[in-house]
Amino acid sequence: MDNTASDNAYLKAVRDLNGLQTNHQILEQIKASGGRINENSLPEFGAFIEKLGHQVEDLNRLNVIHVTGTKGKGSTCAFIQSMLSHLPGRPLKIGLFTSPHLIEVRERIQINGQPLSRAEFAKYFYQTYDRLKAPLPALRKVTEESPQMPMYFRFLTLMAYHTFLAENVDVAIMEVGVGGEYDSTNVVRQPSVCGIASLGIDHQGALGTTIEEIAWHKAGIIKKGVPVFTVDQPESALNVIRARAVERQAPEPTVVSPLSADVGLGIAGDHQRTNAALAVALCREWARKQGVSTTDAWITQGLAEARWPGRSQTFSSPRHPNITWYVDGAHTAESMAACAAWFAGASSSPSVLLFNAAHNRSAQALLAVLSARGCDFVEAVFCPNLSRRADSTNFTVLNDAELAQQNDSARIWATHSPHCKTTVLPTIDDAVAYIEATYAAKPVYVLATGSLHLVGGVLDAAKGSI
């Protein structure tokens, strides 16, 4: 397939994918159903696996490293991928499934640290899409709420599992989408090892409003006889995790401590030492179960060379070298506190804020954290999560509603920083262009945060790549 043909096939796949239900829609349905959709999700997902020509048991041979958490689970997966790529002996074929993407949806499914090519994405997309269009197997119970086609995230999970089986990967690193107990990645019955990153309050409508309820969902990835590792959590959350391990007949969860400051990390921020420690524990256990001897050398090199775009990332564009961008997809109060500490320690005045909180996040809480952490800006720019790329656009949210939310955010920020200028613009592209036109003449530091979708749009508009 030549480049033009593969590009056209890829863009058609993106259009078809964007026609499926989004995560936001499914979360709203879960809230409205009182949890009934959740209860049916994994049996339903097993039927989808069978429609692709696989058995659920086939997933066990992927030697899955399953990672959940509220914050840091993506970075943990990135550290794991990097370390395993340096494991001594026969080179591994490493599958990685994460979300969300920053610029192109194919970033979510990677092999050996590289996103699927456009041609590969289109091939595996339509293998998945066409097989799923057939009726569900009659032996599977389908409720009135059950879709004949899985929604956006579940479709991509199916596609990832199908791709990794077809590509015969040695290991599949699977990042949970939302929660764990009912998440589509949790269809795997015998992963090699499970990890639970830092917990916090998020997705309350689907997971509950307390840390204990959220811990219950996250700990749902624990399986019988499978080792589980976690990081320091609130004691009440740890108690839930331990109880679920007993319930599932799993080993006692191991709590790891952050790595020391002298360990070099390829992903910036002190908070990454916690994520890296979890990744090291998961890698060591995976290697042990595979009968691979481990040394500090491959761990040290893997940690130092790890990359995770959009998280504690700094760059300057050759077009506008005076502008230094600091981008971080922080979207919870805890992750925003870590982002603010990172930015305050790495930048200086003058600085500009570019902010967006997704429609189901609390902009007020996130902006309060930025203010409380002493972040001082000469201007704060707000925009919806809208860009000109089809991969990034959420077609289910009205532009007027998005713009109204940004005006609300600007008013909230004005209460925290009344002397700071605020500007609201209709798209990410417009916001980046405005900042470049206004501040390119002298050195300036720009923090873009609040949403990974925003960060992806900024990387695309200001940098042109991830």
Known binding-site residue numbers for Mg(2+): 99, 175, 203
Cβ neighbours, 10 Å, residue 442? 8
One-letter amino acid at 345 equals: G
User: Whole-angstrom Cα distance, residue 301 to residue 278?
Assistant: 16
Return the structure tokens found at 28. Answer: 């709203």
Q: φ and ψ at 385, to 5 degrees?
A: -80, 60
User: Whole-angstrom Cα distance, residue 84 to residue 298?
Assistant: 8
Place of tokens 């409720």: 143
Return the structure tokens found at 194. Answer: 């499970």
One-letter amino acid at 227 equals: P
Q: Which residues contact 432 (CB under 8 A, 6 or more apart)?
A: 354, 457, 458, 461, 462
Let me know: does 378 contact 421? Beta carbons within 8 Å. Answer: yes
Helix (H, G, I), strand (E, B) or coil at 323: strand
User: Whole-angstrom Cα distance, residue 448 to residue 458?
Assistant: 8
User: Whole-angstrom Cα distance, residue 409 to residue 119?
Assistant: 40
Query: Which residue numbers belong to the known binding site for ATP?
Result: 311, 328
First to last CA, the chain: 25
Strands 109-111 and 444-449: unpaired
- For residue 224, the 8-state DSSP code is T
User: Whole-angstrom Cα distance, residue 20 to residue 404?
Assistant: 26
Let me know: does 268 contact 307? Beta carbons within 8 Å. Answer: no
CA-only gyration radius of the chain, Å: 22
Let me know: does 187 contact 42? Beta carbons within 8 Å. Answer: yes
Burial of 252 (0-12, 13-18, 19+ CB in 10 A): exposed
User: Whole-angstrom Cα distance, residue 432 to residue 121?
Assistant: 29
User: Whole-angstrom Cα distance, residue 416 to residue 445?
Assistant: 20
Of all helices (H) and strands (E), which one includes residue 444? Answer: strand 444-449
Q: Which one, of 458, 390, 407, 415, lies nearest residue 11 by Cα?
A: 390
User: Whole-angstrom Cα distance, residue 423 to residue 437?
Assistant: 14
